[in-house]
Structure 1
Amino acid sequence: MKRTRLALALLFAACPGGCNLSGTSVYLACPEKCKDDPDPDACIAECGTCKGQCVDPTPEGFDGPALLWVGRTVDEPQCPDSAPVTVYTGHETLDDPIVCSPCRCSESICALPEGLTMAPSARCEGAGIPLNRTLDVLNGACVVPSEHFVSDHKALLLGSPRFMPCKASVEPPPVPRILFPRWYRSGKACAGVTRKETCGAPKTCVPAEQMREFSLCIMHLGEGEVTCPQDYPEQVVLYDGMEDERRCTPCECGPPTGGECSLALLSYRDAACSDLLGAGAASEKDPGCLAPTPGVQPKSMKAVWHINEPGRCEPSGGELEGEVILTGPSTFCCKTRPDRNNN
């Protein structure tokens, strides 16, 4: 909101010889206006005629009168010649939509179990003893195990593979739209020189509505409830600005569903992972067991994915919440609505 009291603009522009300042109006006395005119009598005679409109004094608590325009921000006109000074600008309707980008989730890929353990027996029963440096086996490499790693009378326990959590993200933003002013509709109040002596006390001569989209209004600039008087029945509320408290909720992903992970642990008679000795499988639901072959100790081992189907997660979030709070309201009470021909 911008408000000019005319303390300087009208005072210097319209009152080089002196005048009285009140509210948003400058009251200019005809003798002062005409004292330097080549024909003072003719000037005073013309000055004594109201070329605008005679109105009653502005009610207490209001400023003005002034000519108010309200309409599309892009259509804002210049102030009319009869009221050349802008004394207020504000806003009525916001045009600043927020569209939240859709949320999406990455696939939930199968992840290897944390490691292998040595079972206390050949039946995969009981708590196992963790084996060090088993990651190469689980990563699919053909590994020649050390003596302490395998046994022909103890089983190897393979933990369950698991789904990795999905990662949340947003869809790429759309192609930028053409930018317009954030405010769709705005208002502008204009004022000029007024004269008291041309209408007879207590009325005052004010500028006429020379442009149809302007209306004569009085102004209550600031907070608080306002009841418009009978002479100015049409109420228009304009705002200084806004506090934008809108935001998009964060994107999140639900638990993985629909995938399947199954890992096979293979042992071989040779050191090149070519002569299969035994196999055990583990899924995301059940751990696996590679049972020993009595009398035969594996010479090599590796793990391979039997089934590796990523899971999918349901995205959530990306919802608009909050609101725009309009701030700095000012109330105008008008003879007629200034936007009657400017929708």
Structure 2
Amino acid sequence: MRRWEAGRILAALASVGGAAVAMASGCGAVDGYDCHELLECDVINEDGTSNGGCEGTCVPAEVYGFRRGVYLVRVKTGLEDLGCVDALRWTQELDLKEREKVSPPAFGEFFVAPGAHPGCAPCACTAPACVLPAGLTVSSGWMCDDSPGETLTPFDAPAGWDGACVAPGAVGAEAFGSFRIAPVTARACEVVTFPVPRDGDAHAGGQAVASCNAQRGDHCPTPEHVCAIGADELRPGWRRCLVADDGEDVECPSSDRTAGLHFSEKLIFWEKVEDSRACTPCSCTETAPSTCEALVSTFEDGACRDPVAAAVVAENGVCHDAEPGSTLGSLRAAWLVDAPGSCAPSGGEPVGELSLSKKVTACCLPEET
């Protein structure tokens, strides 16, 4: 029976006479007891007994071997985002801020069993590739002379050049004595980074357990008892439990130690998680070298029609003289040998472990009791 129902009944008795109220409610049992206050704070159980001001369940404040008070416990499933704000049935229609104001205080989080390793991403490598020269460096002198008296002019190909005809600019005869072709490069394979997948929906510590303080501010008839949230206020899955710190050796208390309540369902949890799990780093090892060689051709005009000179270039680059009086307007390249090598990935192995410590025992009332 809720407080407002008890108050309505006792108010009706009060209209009959003070003696009736005193008999029904215990008015006057304590010196200075105010009957008006009593009508507001007494809660009458269905069997006629009084919980004092407790609208839930009065339980012993101290049970030897257990922490003081009663706790709400709910095992989460997977990565379920569950907390004390979700414990009470009647708060579900409130917005989150209002629910947080009336939710039971959080106690902490327990864990049921170690979770599986979250898994390592498979290691993979990009493919090696032959890359064409980045362009030319033009010198006004012979044999690519870069002494202070000579003029150097960059004649760069665009990024990602595929060898098609390009015209980066125009170099006159007075500045075009020779040109150095940058080397072709063999681009090495690189590690491909993937996000680490989770193994199913395993929590870092296995199944997690939300734990909340079940004690409410209402008062029981004696100071040896505390008022716990009632079973009819809890959402499905939430249990009221006594909690001890001694792990599996704890025996759940008999009902004569807990005011007739049967805290009979024993659960084992852990309070601490140490997670050193990781994955070995990925790496790529060359298993076959790349062989790359290109023919680079230069032209006087801007459309690769009037040739000046052509040279074969590999990994070291090459210098080539121009015909006297030539100008430079465009260049083109083609692969003579385009044979990328190969590589193999390694790493991505799970290492480390997850361990749980500081066992606790929870002795719980059966759900909905």
Structure 2 length-normalised TM: 0.43
Q: Which has the higher helix share?
A: 2
TM-score norm. by structure 1 comes to 0.46
- Which has more strand, going by share of residues? 1
